[in-house]
Amino acid sequence: MKKITTLLLLLISGWSLAQAQSVSSEALKEQMIKDWERAKAYTAEYLAAMPADKYQARAVDSIRSFSEQMLHLAAGNIGLAANGTGKTRIFPGFNMEKSAGAQSKDSVSYYVNASYDFVIEGIKTLDPATWGEVIKRGNLSETRLSWIMKAFEHQSHHRGQCTIYIRLQGVRPPAEKLF
């Protein structure tokens, strides 16, 4: 099962079957770290692009503000990656998304960057031999690797949603960063 999961992850990442069959778990770990570091830099560009006085902007009234979206992204990074890496969550019990004191550009940037650092450090210290271990949280039972992949999917989704927030301010969002 572990081999199948690793092969699927590599194929989804765009690796050929020949490359996927010859890559080591350590090489996959290094690629994950590289991708998370890229995601952190890309998200930092989003945070910088949004004018500080527009962090409370909403695309429509019934959805999160830009700052709430980014803080939700950060909370997802922390929670999902903690499940995958086994690291103790940072900011336990703190609902940053709803905290009035966390909504400024500087505060949002701090929490978002801290969340990426938490994930990256967790992956760096995680033994790839444990990626196949199943971790149960609530009614979900997923492998460590799956929790980390879901964290990456989650942050990509919410960063992508922020594109429209930035465009609504008349600002051009950062260009895609695949590599």
Q: Do the beta carbons of residue 124 and residue 62 sit within 8 Å?
A: no
- The per-residue pLDDT for 153 is 98
Is 96 buried (19+), middle (13-18) or exposed (0-12) by CB count in 10 A? buried
Per-residue pLDDT reduced to its tens digit, 55-109? 999 999 999 999 999 999 999 999 999 999 999 999 999 999 999 999 999 999 9
Per-residue pLDDT reduced to its tens digit, 132-145? 999 999 999 999 99
Per-residue pLDDT reduced to its tens digit, 148-163? 999 999 999 999 999 9
Residue 52 has pLDDT above 90, yes or no: yes
Q: What is the pTM of this model?
A: 0.88
Q: Which tokens go with 67?
A: 């700052």
Domains and CATH numbers, the chain: 25-168 (1.20.120.450)
- The per-residue pLDDT for 146 is 97
User: Rounded to whole angstroms, how far apart are CA atoms 75 and 157?
Assistant: 13
